[in-house]
Structures are given as structure tokens and as C-alpha cells.
Amino acid sequence: MPDVKVSNLNKIFGDNVVLDNVDFTIKDGEFFTLLGPSGCGKSTTLNCIAGLEQPSSGAISVGDTTFVDTDKKLFVPPEGRNLGMVFQSYALWPHKTIADNLAMPLQIRKVDKTEQRRLIDEALDKVGLLHLRERYPHQMSGGQQQRVALARALVYSPSVLLLDEPLSNLDAKLREQARAWLKRLQEDLGITTVYVTHDQDEALALSDRIAVMSNGYMIQVGTPTEIYETPATAEVAAFVGRCNFLEATVTDVTSTGAALKLEANGQQMTVDTPEKVTVGDHVTVAVRPEKLAVLPADDTAMPGTNVISAEVLTTSYLGSRFEYDLKVGDHVVQVVNDRGGLAGAVNLTVDPDACLIFPQADVLSEDAQALLTVAP
């Protein structure tokens, strides 16, 4: 399967810049996800690759074939690209059987009927629905319809598979099962795949690499581990998974990072970081909820950890874990812990190397701003 290369892609609707110099390469056989909130430009990027949108400027190629080059006034229409696409709505013909739905793209390509049947049966077998070839869409569950839409996209052996939030119509349990099945299928086929979603769990579970988008920009591209553990900005940290944010001032620079004074309650903490900071800098400290531990106020913390005074606001039991909302000064901090029954005054502990710091000038997303809300 070929690489996909997108170069300096721009898309403007009137005065609205939807894509701003988007640039990336998807490797052969890679599962590459475009992740971001609604309106960030991820679906527009996918539609430009598919040929459903014409870029204002830029170039797109798959392998040695160029589909778009605005400098050369080159634009290959969707039917000339041999790309498979699954839409959010599945877009199945309700009056046609499953086999007839799969036959449509083959008929357009003038494949003879004997070959059509072979290809249809082969595609349905890949998604485990060969025994349902004569059913109609309304006779199938949402998960089965999603598999039919995927089989239709695969039936003519596309060079690249494009998926636009294909699991969003499924309930939570079925979505979890579907993404595991989709990942196995993609690995078995080895097909280069571009996936669009706003669901962080989907992106982390499915992807070889993720591109996080915001306001038409790509703000970070990396593996799921890189995106989650070392986000490039506070906005990435806020959008991918949950994260606590506390404002602080640098009081000292150490050999491994910095000493900070928290603005929420005036307490001191240390952070190990490669970021260059100077005394007096205002920074935002980011900590994932699972990196924090909660101890009764009279318990002794491990040497070398930061200890922050807090007060339990709420406790939620979620079966495999407890989730706490804690008051630190005038801020709310979320913690995931396996220890229940904590109430009143407690201590938060966190290792210096479990914290990230960002310049306070970083523009935070709404998700991040919500976590900076003043506590009741």
C-alpha cells in the first residue's frame, strides 16, 4: 500500500480559514488518525484527500500518483482516486440487499457479474457477514451496518481507506468491541488508513500515529504514547485524556527542572522538566489524574514526592477505581485512585517527573479552561 503525502494544504470558505498550511505524510500500511474537536478541520482534511473538497492551495499525492497540485491546476475527481471511504452515516441504500449495496461501486467500474460475486463474497467474509448477504440494512444492527459500509469500501481493493467517524453511531459497549475488531482487520489487510474522530480513546486505541488538530492547524503529530505522555502544548494535554492545570511561578531553577510556587495555595513543589525556565516565569503545571495519589492528612508521603494540601469535595465509585474531586486553594483537581473512603483534609502527592509545565501564555482549549474553574 502507498504512502499518503499532504503538502501545505489550505482551505478557505469566504473569510473563514478552515485549513492553514496542513502538512503531513502517512506511511505505507499505517493507521493514521486526525483527532480534534468539532470544527477543527479534520473532516475537511479527509474530504480533500477523498476529492470531495477542492483545496484552496496545496498538493496531495498517494504513492507516485498526484491527486491535487494547485500550482499545476491539477485536480483528480473522487472517482479517479481509487480510495475507499466510510461515512459517519454509513450511506447504505435501504431498498437494496447487502450484496447489492456492495455491487454498486463494482458496477460503476464495469466489473463483470461473475467477478462481482466473488469480490462481494470475499469482502463480506472479511467483515464476518457473508451469511447475511441477502438481508436489507433495516434488518441489521448498527454494528452490522457499520461492517457493511466498511466491506463496501474494501470491495474494489482501494489503495487507501478513509474513515470519517464510522463508530460514532454505536453505543459505548458496541463501539469498544468494534474498534478492537477494526484494528485487527486493518492490521490483517495492511491497508493505509486515515481515520477521523473526536474520541480520544478511539484515537489512542487504534492509531499508529495521531495528528491533533485545532482551528485548522496541526499542533502535534506523534504516536499515542508521545501524544499522551509528552503533549506539545497545554491544549493537546487538555484534549487528549483528562489533565489538571495549576498556575505557578518559578522560584528557583534546579539541575533537573524547577522549583515552583502554586498560585492556588502558595505551596511549593518541584518539577523535573527539559523546558528552559527562569526565576519569575509564570507557568502552567499539568498533571494527569492517574499520576496523583491521595493520602490521609496524617500519612507520610514517599521521600522526594511533592505534597500538596487538599480537601475532598466529591467521591465517585466506578467499579475498578475511585474518582475524587479535590479542592486545592481555589481550584478543583481530579484524581483517579484505587483507594476509597477518603474525606475531609487530605494530601495530594505527585512525583516531580510526573508533571509537565507549559508557558502560561499557551492558549488552552475549553476542556483545559473547564479544569481551571474556581472551586465552590
Domain identity same for 163 and 190: yes
Which one has a higher pLDDT value, 172 or 131? 131
Domain identity same for 332 and 223: no
**185-199, 244-258, 279-293, 329-343: range with lowest mean pLDDT:** 329-343
Which residue is associated with the grid cell 452515516? 89
Confidence of residue 361 (pLDDT cuts 50, 70, 90): low
Per residue in 4-33, pLDDT (tens digit) is: 999 999 999 988 999 999 999 999 999 999
What was the pLDDT predicted at 362? 54
Per residue in 286-307, pLDDT (tens digit) is: 999 999 999 888 888 788 899 9
Per residue in 82-136, pLDDT (tens digit) is: 999 998 888 899 999 999 999 999 998 899 999 999 999 999 998 899 999 999 9
CA 86 to CA 105: how far, in whole Å? 13
Domain identity same for 211 and 360: no
* Residues in the chain, overall count: 376
What was the pLDDT predicted at 41? 94
Give the mean pLDDT of the chain.
90
Which residue is associated with the grid cell 500515529? 209
Q: How far is CA 365 from each of CA 274, 287, 330, rounded to the nearest angstrom? A: 24, 16, 20
Long-range Cβ contact pairs of 251-259 (< 8 A, separation 24 or more): 251/279, 252/279, 253/277, 253/278, 253/279, 256/352, 257/352, 257/357, 258/283, 258/357
Per residue in 87-98, pLDDT (tens digit) is: 888 889 999 999
| Assigned domain for 375 exists | no
**294 neighbors 337 (Cβ within 8 angstroms):** yes
Task: Inform me whether the pLDDT recorded for 51 exceeds 90.
Answer: yes
What was the pLDDT predicted at 88? 81
| Assigned domain for 10 exists | yes
Report the side by side order of strands in the sheet with 356-359.
Answer: 268-272, 257-262, 244-253, 282-287, 356-359
CA 303 to CA 154: how far, in whole Å? 56
Domain identity same for 230 and 84: yes
In total, how many domains does the chain have? 2
Which residue range(s) make up the domain with 347? 236-370
Grid coordinates representing 48 are 480533500
Domain identity same for 208 and 242: no
CA 23 to CA 360: how far, in whole Å? 27
What was the pLDDT predicted at 367? 45
Confidence of residue 246 (pLDDT cuts 50, 70, 90): very high
Mean pLDDT across the stretch 191-214?
A: 94
Domain identity same for 86 and 225: yes
Task: Inform me whether the pLDDT recorded for 38 exceeds 50.
Answer: yes
Task: Inform me whether the pLDDT recorded for 363 exceeds 70.
Answer: no
CATH of the domain at 242: 2.40.50.140
Confidence of residue 233 (pLDDT cuts 50, 70, 90): very high
| Assigned domain for 376 exists | no
Among 235, 257, 288, the domain boundary falls at 235
CA 316 to CA 335: how far, in whole Å? 10
Confidence of residue 375 (pLDDT cuts 50, 70, 90): very low
Domain identity same for 245 and 281: yes
Domain identity same for 219 and 258: no
Task: Inform me whether the pLDDT recorded for 365 exceeds 80.
Answer: no
Confidence of residue 253 (pLDDT cuts 50, 70, 90): very high
Among 235, 262, 279, the domain boundary falls at 235
Report the side by side order of strands in the sheet with 345-350.
Answer: 293-296, 345-350, 306-317, 322-328, 331-337
φ, ψ for residue 369 (rounded to 5)?
A: -60, -35
Domain identity same for 240 and 144: no
| Assigned domain for 66 exists | yes
| Assigned domain for 352 exists | yes
CATH of the domain at 198: 3.40.50.300
| Assigned domain for 277 exists | yes
| Assigned domain for 132 exists | yes
Domain identity same for 228 and 308: no
**209 neighbors 193 (Cβ within 8 angstroms):** no
Grid coordinates representing 111 are 466489473
pTM for the model stands at 0.87
What was the pLDDT predicted at 137? 94
Per residue in 154-164, pLDDT (tens digit) is: 999 899 999 99
Domain identity same for 271 and 334: yes
| Assigned domain for 243 exists | yes
Among 177, 205, 235, the domain boundary falls at 235
Which residues have CB under 8 Å from 286's CB, separation 6+? 231, 234, 237, 243, 244, 245, 355, 356, 357, 358
Which residue is associated with the grid cell 508533571? 355
Domain identity same for 164 and 19: yes
